[in-house]
Amino acid sequence: MEQQSSSLFPTYARYPITIVKGKGSRLWDDTGKEYLDLMSGLAVTSLGHCPEAVKQALVAQLDELWHVSNLFHIPNQEKLAGLLTANSCADRVFFCNSGAEANEAAIKAARRYHQKVLNTGRYEIITFQQSFHGRTLATLTATGQAKVQEGFLPLPEGFVYAPFNDAEALEGYITDKTCAIMLEMVQAEGGVIVADPAFVQEVKRLCEKHNLLLIVDEIQTGMGRTGKLFAHEHYGIEPDIFTVAKAIASGFPMGAMLGKEKLAEAFTAGSHGSTFGGTPIAMAAAIATVETIVGDKLADRAEELGRYVTEQLREKLGGHPLVNEVRGKGLIIGIGCKEPVADLIAAIHARGVLVVTAGPNVIRLLPSLLVTKEELDHGIEVIAQVLAERTAAV
């Protein structure tokens, strides 16, 4: 593909592929080449591309109302909030436009709850090394990766980075300034690192002991991907706040912060807002998406298929000289390698299967929750072939 001049900022290291059409787990580029999509737009198109139920909901809404200010009641906000709270431990919902905005809302809610409700004056949030929470100034500061913070100094204060999965070290990071602990159940961008159950239980215990809020970032793991509707359900805990985005509206830009009833005292009228958060169009897409995920029990399907993929990959790649580990939860799966995988990714793409990295040394799979076993078998075979050929060429 020829490199052309562009009016866009070069903020993305794009693959040399131009996608123009999608349906289900299939994509087509501008040359007509077909691809099996095992990345779902980074865990966004979890019902596949252009799902019919969501399409119908959007078409119907387009004839009714596109936007109205949040100064007015929007009935489908209440419907979606009820749907989410009925299927989770949350009592309240705030709608926004992205995962970063959902995490911004969580950060603000935690600080405001401590400062305006509990009157503690606390503001620091403990996050974890190799975490990823977004690209806004606050959420990139919450992110425990120096590479995403480079060039944006000075960073806002109020974040402390603890080692992930280190239960013994965690309490040493808590001070009289700490208001919350924020973590992912699977560090997706950090390499598909799954939280250890004992570590999560210690996080919960310390939050209760020190009167801290527990925030779980479910931006990539929420909406059924890990085998539960929300990944924290695997651990038997109830966070005070958790955030979702990506898969909640099948590709329509949307995010949400969910929380316990007590937080309503902090998020009062005028304390936070979003011009485009919770528009009628976004609500239509999200309601259809969530109803499908819940009604068709797609989390159960993700758990079953995730187990199958992981077993197949471990069988085919076990003992492979380039592979350290196959890990994950449900349909978020990482193949940890002993060297950078960028050229392996390119070779897999060339054979018509789309996967993505998770850090420099991990091949990440994020297929649709409706992907077929036959499609998965094909993707696994291509990945195994590329890795085998790499070994033979060395």
CATH number at residue 31: 3.90.1150.10
Local confidence band at 53 (pLDDT 50, 70, 90 cut-offs): very high
Q: Answer with the one of 269, 295, 321 that is the final residue of a domain.
A: 295
270 and 155: one domain?
Answer: yes
The rounded radius of gyration (Å) of the Cα atoms in the chain is: 21
Q: State whether 239 and 344 are in the same domain.
A: no
Domain termination residue (choose one: 295, 317, 348): 295
Q: Tokens 């419907």 sit at which residue?
A: 79
Q: What is the mean pLDDT of residues 351-376?
A: 98
Could you tell me if 260 and 366 lie in one domain?
A: no
Q: What's the chain's average pLDDT?
A: 97
Same structural domain for residues 324 and 387?
yes
Q: Which band of pLDDT confidence, cut at 50, 70 and 90, is reported for residue 394?
A: low
- Considering the domain architecture, whether residues 291 and 206 belong to the same structural domain is answered as yes
- Backbone CA torsion sign across 42, 225, 193, 308: negative
| Res. 3 pLDDT band, cuts 50 70 90 | low
Whether 272 is in a domain gets the answer: yes
Same domain, 79 and 149: yes
Backbone angles phi, psi at 90, to 5 degrees: -80, 155
Same domain flag for 75 and 209:
yes
Are 192 and 244 part of one and the same domain?
A: yes
- Per-residue model confidence (pLDDT) at position 4: 63
In the chain, the number of structural domains is 2
Same domain, 220 and 315: no
What is the bridge-based pairing of β-strands 178-183 and 92-96?
Answer: unpaired
Question: Is position 126 within any domain?
Answer: yes
Q: What share of the chain is helix, strand, coil (3-state, %, to 5)?
A: 40, 20, 40
**Do residue 125 and residue 207 come from a single domain?**
yes
Of 295, 311, 340, which marks where a domain is finished?
A: 295
Give the mean model confidence (pLDDT) for residues 332-339. Answer: 97
Contact by Cβ (8 Å): 236, 205: no
Taking residues 291-307, report their average pLDDT: 98
Local confidence band at 367 (pLDDT 50, 70, 90 cut-offs): very high
Phi/psi of residue 135, each to 5°?
-115, 0
Q: The domain spanning residue 164 has which CATH number?
A: 3.40.640.10
Digit-coded pLDDT (tens) for 20-35: 999 999 999 999 999 9
Indicate whether 7 belongs to any domain. Answer: no
Of all residues in the chain, what percent carry a pLDDT higher than 90? 97
With respect to residue 112, please indicate whether it lies within any of the assigned structural domains.
yes
Range(s) of the domain holding residue 348: 19-50+297-393
Residue 351 lies in a domain: yes
Residue 178 half-sphere exposure toward CB, CA atoms < 13 A: 24
Q: What is the C-alpha end-to-end distance of the chain, expressed in Å?
A: 28
**Which has the minimum average pLDDT: 59-63, 133-137, 388-392?**
388-392
Sheet of 353-354, strands arranged across: 19-23, 26-29, 34-37, 353-354
Note whether residue 13 is domain-resident.
Answer: no
Interior/surface letters 235-247, b for 16+ CB within 10 angstroms, e for the rest:
bebebbbbbbbbb
pLDDT score recorded for residue 1:
44
Angle between helices 342-350 and 373-393 (to 10 degrees): 120
- Inter-residue contact 338 to 358 (CB < 8 Å): no
Arithmetic mean of pLDDT, 191-213: 98
Q: For residue 239, tell me if it sits in a domain.
A: yes
Phi, psi of 213 (to 5 degrees): -85, 140
Q: Do residues 26 and 88 share a domain?
A: no
Taking the alpha carbons of 49, 52, 57, 58 in that order, is the dihedral positive or negative?
positive
Kindly report the backbone phi and psi dihedral angles of residue 187, in degrees, each rounded to the nearest multiple of 5, phi listed first.
-75, 90
Is the residue at 41 inside a domain?
A: yes
Same domain, 249 and 351: no
